[in-house]
Structure 1
Amino acid sequence: MEREAMEFDVVIVGAGPSGLSTAIRLRTLAAEQGHDLSVCVLEKGSEVGAHILSGAVIEPRALDELIPDWRGKGAPLEQEAGQDRFLYLTNQNDIRLPTPPQMHNTGNYIVSLGNVCRWLAEQAEALGVEIYPGFAAAEVLYHDDGSVKGVATGAMGIGRDGEPTAQFEPGMELHARQTIFAEGCRGSLTKTLMDRFNLREGVQPQTYGIGIKELWEVDPSVHQPGLIVHTVGWPVPRDVYGGSFMYHFGENLVSVGFVVGLDYQNPYLSPFDEFQQWKTHPSIRPTFETGRRISYGARALAEGGWQSIPKLTFPGGVLVGDTAGFLNVPKIKGTHTAMKSGILAADAVFAHLKAGKTGAVTGYWEALKDSWMGWELWRVRNIRPSFRWGLFGGITYSAIEAYVTRGLSPWTLRHHEDHAALKKAADCKPIEYPKPDGKVSFDRLSSVYLSNTNHEENQPCHLTLKDDTVPKRVNLADYAGPEARFCPAGVYEFVPDETDGGQRLQINFQNCVHCKTCDIKDPTQNINWVVPQGGDGPNYPNM
């Protein structure tokens, strides 16, 4: 069936902080200058905020610029940040360390980023932005000259065998003068744009982490509204970049999570199990042992920073937010930079369209470099790659950058591809993790249940393999099947293979929480994550 098409001035893929900020800024400029501009936002989640996952402590600097009267408009930034604690954990004790300057949170707010996005969507719609949740952009469309024409949403009602079912509905084409890609970390369409337009030429590889988060309701006796705790050390090995966060906010709520850099080397390491084990520490367990776990989720983070930012514009399109990689790693914040990128991109796109220009937008990268955002990211560019020297080496070097050179070092440290860091299993020691106790530590399946993840079972698997012999022939044989451990949702499972008595890979795609870790960490880069049908995936409440 032929797809219908809709025409807009601007189509934005993704209703996260960057995409919504872009939309709000575009419509604000249009209203101020009396210029008619149609703006549409596509969101693959069932509702705005359904797929949003972050700590989150938000720095309101970009929000102040975007919506100066956000307090009067009821923005859900209510819990002011209070005391900061930075701890180094041994297996039984904790040592209080000085809080690094980038991690001071005075003036910031502990929030549910999903709820912030829901509020931003309300502001955008009030300005005339059209938002379509439940529609996953599955394909980039191109003009005959090779420039981006827009996107197409995925068809609904395709069976597991790839054939249309009785519920089949073709996708919709959305054409635009400029298409803004705000897909978040490791965007599936952005990956194709990187290749087609060679956007990564001349920049360092992106490096990633996986962030795993839970939301808890804790006993009032242990709740300290505004308290912000970060830890490093136990249980992750010293050669692995990782750490935790605990943010107390709301009515006896604690956001708790664990981040592990995906450049780890031992294929036996499991980020999920590291997190569950961490909660059993004597300094951590008392916060949770009388509480109730409410929700669970996971998401990859782009940690490369300044030296890994790709080219941001190309004929017909622009990248904003974490799909380009604007996280400030030592600050442990990316919302304010994602929003600022949306503001700057909107300014450049608006000027481009108002002038009647075609082709690639100009001025965006230059404005970003000259903004507070560019300065902020450039000054911390060496912090994350310094942890190649281990925990203590990284902390020592970071202290020198923070207190001595103040980010003005005349060199820039390099990143490497995360998947290439994995060693062969024969060269590594297996890791035995304790069994979950059901009180503070849990298994994957009970965790996924709390993410409210749902995928229509009769559809093609969205976790595609370039070569279906590789998982058994290479990943299992050489790396002991690491996908069964780096996935935080139990998607990848090696089960008995009746054909030869060995094992084969089973993909339980219904469990997928859309974290993208498999697409990043697979040592053979054989896994290609593409969008399932629109509306499927997790439905995170208050995350």
Structure 2
Amino acid sequence: MADIEREAMEYDVVIVGAGPAGLSAAIRLKQLDADCNVVVLEKGSEVGAHILSGAVLDPCGLDALIPDWKEKGAPLNVPVKEDNFYMLGEAGKVRVPNFPMPPLMNNHGNYIVSMGNVCRWMAEQAEELGVEVFPGMACSKLVFGDNGEVKGVVAGEMGIGADGEPGPSYEPGMELHGKYVFLSEGVRGSLSKQVIAKYGLDEGKEPQKYGLGMKEIWEIDPEKHREGTVTHTMGWPLGKNAGGGSFIYHLDNNQVYVGFVVHLGYKNPHVFPYMEFQRFKHHPMVKELLEGGKRVAYGARAITEGGYQSMPKMVAPGVALLGCSVGMVNVPRIKGNHNAMLSGKAAAEAAFEAMSAGRSGDELTDYETEVREGEIGKDLKKVRNVKPLWSKYGLTTSLAVGGFDMWCNTFGFSLLGTMGHGKSDAEVTEKASKHKPIDYPKPDGKLSFDRLTNVSFSFTNHEESQPAHLKLKDPDLPVKVNLPEYDGPSARYCPAGVYEFVKDDKTGEDRFVINFQNCVHCKTCDIKDPKQNIVWTTPQGGDGPNYPNM
């Protein structure tokens, strides 16, 4: 495999990932220089196929990038009309009033959107400007120059057999070289992870923290539908087992987005995030809304939650990390798409200035400065202590102290300084013997569903003859360590049922099975495995979920 020769194509800027960050960068580059040669490579079967987000969109990113987006027909059609916050108990709820909340929590002026559809529209704008956008092109390798800089990627390698060797229909793909390479792969991107490790970009930073976001689209009774209503909840069913909460967004066409986020810093390995989501839908408030409706789509995605203090260095020779490859989500607002767009714009402007000065393959330090000191940094710095407060002291304390800290930061100071996160989400996982198993109700098939049934509503597909893209550093570790010590948590933390432990019919011994065909590319396994034994790599292009309007 190392001797494979590939054709190379030269570009000014190569962008990996057609999400909001990558597409914003491509659009801005062409706005600055119509002759700039830009390519966007997307591993999904089409732009938007792998995009999953809440999403209530703060349009400030679009305002900065395409000020006339309304006239151009951007799919921002449902303005937020009402904001609700509830603390849930098992059978009831308490409304949290809006007035004590800092101004940044107000959703006035924001829109309920499908980010998949927003990205599809952005790709159209990019192509009209002359950007080359190639879906179905997974980027499997980095290409390095003579001086150790990132000079490109390998894209479009197809037809590798289950044994890891080229099969009869093998296509080696191509090397796409650029003066600069932008990695906008989203959360825990495989190439971004390599760049961070190779250049030590996370040295001196707090560990990144994550949540697992799961989402269903429901069509509900028109009489129950309240277009433009945004509802967030905290509390039940998670309790003290894990941090997290829910969102319910009423978009148009009698549809609602029903989502649930579980912070992956939980200690108890018996926690089953997917089943917490399914149980949540049986709360009286949610049950009343969904009864008589039908679930039409499902998906899951990890969310970066470390915030300001966890952002790694964003640049290395020839390469820049954009959006969620860095981690730009404002956790209390549950918003990061606006920052992703702003990061793409900033990276494009830094690259344009560098290329105009005759530079290439160096570090775009102006991009990093703009992110940390500009609007993105200001947005994230105000809320930097909310996540560590929640992780260390629980929900009630984080609401009171975190809210007070956000108010202080509104006026430019914090009594808490900048708090740290301590351990990674993998490291905080404790042995199963320290915790009681959790008894989860069986899904009823009406409001709640088993994982495999729901995965079919993500429209996921993988070519089965290829090698599993989920790699084990030590194939024996799941059965020898994770099963006896942690009760095999991968069988629960995966929201798609990829991992299971089965008894061998002949020997009676446990085997670890990876059903990679189910994978919805959420990256939770790469994040939460207690021994960091699972490595997520990209499958061949076009494989994975095919989200319609997530």
Q: Does TM, normalized by the shorter one, top 0.5?
A: yes
* Partner in structure 2 of residue 141 of structure 1: 143
Q: How does 1:245-256 map to 2 (within 5 A)?
A: 245-256=247-258
* Partner in structure 1 of residue 40 of structure 2: 41
| 1:320–1:239 distance in 2 versus 1, CA, 3 Å | same
* 1:252 shift after superposition: 0.2
Measured in 2, the distance between the counterparts of 1:164 and 1:255 equals 42
Measured in 2, the distance between the counterparts of 1:138 and 1:408 equals 44
SS of equivalent to 1:528: strand
* Partner in structure 2 of residue 392 of structure 1: 396
Measured in 2, the distance between the counterparts of 1:481 and 1:238 equals 21
* 1:240 shift after superposition: 1.8
Mapped contact 1:481–1:494 kept (Cα < 8 A): yes
Q: How does 1:103-142 map to 2 (within 5 A)?
A: 103-142=105-144
Measured in 1, the distance between the counterparts of 2:400 and 2:241 equals 14
Letter in 2 for 1:393: T
CA-to-partner distance for each residue in 1:303-349, whole Å, 9 max, x for gaps?
Answer: 00000111111111111100100001111100000000111111111
Q: Is 1:367 matched up with 2:373? A: no
* Partner in structure 2 of residue 87 of structure 1: 86
2:446 corresponds to which of 439, 450, 456: 439
Measured in 2, the distance between the counterparts of 1:201 and 1:133 equals 34
Letter in 1 for 2:43: K
SS of equivalent to 1:432: coil
* Partner in structure 2 of residue 268 of structure 1: 270
Letter in 1 for 2:470: L
Mapped contact 1:240–1:391 kept (Cα < 8 A): no
CA-to-partner distance for each residue in 1:210-230, whole Å, 9 max, x for gaps?
Answer: 000000111101100000000
* 1:499 shift after superposition: 6.0
| 1:107–1:459 distance in 2 versus 1, CA, 3 Å | same
* Partner in structure 1 of residue 306 of structure 2: 304
Letter in 2 for 1:316: G
Measured in 1, the distance between the counterparts of 2:541 and 2:460 equals 13
TM-score (norm 1): 0.98
* Partner in structure 1 of residue 491 of structure 2: 484
* Partner in structure 1 of residue 188 of structure 2: 186
Q: CA-atom RMSD, angstroms?
A: 1.1
SS of equivalent to 1:54: coil
Q: How does 1:437-516 map to 2 (within 5 A)?
A: 437-498=444-505, 500-516=507-523
* 1:301 shift after superposition: 0.4
Measured in 1, the distance between the counterparts of 2:136 and 2:106 equals 38
* 1:370 shift after superposition: 2.8
* Partner in structure 1 of residue 539 of structure 2: 532
2:358 corresponds to which of 356, 359, 373: 356
* 1:289 shift after superposition: 1.4
SS of equivalent to 1:86: strand
* 1:480 shift after superposition: 0.2
1:413 corresponds to which of 419, 425, 439: 419
* 1:86 shift after superposition: 0.2
2:435 corresponds to which of 428, 432, 457: 428
Measured in 2, the distance between the counterparts of 1:270 and 1:237 equals 13
Letter in 1 for 2:42: E
* 1:409 shift after superposition: 1.1
* Partner in structure 2 of residue 203 of structure 1: 205
* 1:372 shift after superposition: 1.9
Mapped contact 2:32–2:352 kept (Cα < 8 A): yes
Q: How does 1:318-357 map to 2 (within 5 A)?
A: 318-357=320-359
SS of equivalent to 2:33: helix
Mapped contact 2:304–2:324 kept (Cα < 8 A): yes
Measured in 2, the distance between the counterparts of 1:208 and 1:367 equals 24
Measured in 2, the distance between the counterparts of 1:496 and 1:398 equals 47
* 1:498 shift after superposition: 4.2
In the alignment, structure 2 segments of 5+ residues that lack a partner are none
Measured in 2, the distance between the counterparts of 1:113 and 1:301 equals 14
* 1:154 shift after superposition: 4.8
SS of equivalent to 1:161: coil
* 1:365 shift after superposition: 1.6
* 1:356 shift after superposition: 0.5
Measured in 2, the distance between the counterparts of 1:380 and 1:46 equals 36
Measured in 2, the distance between the counterparts of 1:175 and 1:215 equals 39
* 1:403 shift after superposition: 3.1
Measured in 2, the distance between the counterparts of 1:244 and 1:163 equals 44
CA-to-partner distance for each residue in 1:356-380, whole Å, 9 max, x for gaps?
Answer: 1131122112222332221111111
Mapped contact 1:162–1:460 kept (Cα < 8 A): yes
Mapped contact 2:156–2:171 kept (Cα < 8 A): no
* Partner in structure 2 of residue 98 of structure 1: 97
Mapped contact 1:352–1:362 kept (Cα < 8 A): no
Mapped contact 2:183–2:321 kept (Cα < 8 A): yes
Mapped contact 1:63–1:70 kept (Cα < 8 A): yes
SS of equivalent to 1:225: coil
In the alignment, structure 1 segments of 5+ residues that lack a partner are none
Mapped contact 1:239–1:390 kept (Cα < 8 A): no
Letter in 2 for 1:414: G
* 1:405 shift after superposition: 5.2
Letter in 2 for 1:527: I
* Partner in structure 1 of residue 29 of structure 2: 26
* Partner in structure 2 of residue 237 of structure 1: 239
Mapped contact 2:138–2:157 kept (Cα < 8 A): no
Measured in 2, the distance between the counterparts of 1:374 and 1:508 equals 40
* 1:351 shift after superposition: 0.3
Letter in 2 for 1:87: Y
Q: How does 1:152-171 map to 2 (within 5 A)?
A: 152-171=154-173
* Partner in structure 2 of residue 54 of structure 1: 53
Mapped contact 2:29–2:352 kept (Cα < 8 A): yes
Measured in 2, the distance between the counterparts of 1:166 and 1:344 equals 44
TM-score (norm 2): 0.97
Measured in 2, the distance between the counterparts of 1:220 and 1:490 equals 33
Percent of aligned pairs sharing the same letter: 55
CA-to-partner distance for each residue in 1:420-470, whole Å, 9 max, x for gaps?
Answer: 111100110100100001111000001000000000000000000000000
* 1:145 shift after superposition: 1.0
Measured in 1, the distance between the counterparts of 2:404 and 2:441 equals 37
Measured in 1, the distance between the counterparts of 2:27 and 2:465 equals 37
SS of equivalent to 1:450: helix
SS of equivalent to 1:304: coil
* Partner in structure 1 of residue 406 of structure 2: 402
Letter in 1 for 2:377: G
Mapped contact 2:241–2:271 kept (Cα < 8 A): no
* 1:404 shift after superposition: 4.3
Q: Which moved more, 1:460-469 or 1:367-376?
A: 367-376
Measured in 2, the distance between the counterparts of 1:444 and 1:271 equals 11
SS of equivalent to 2:458: coil
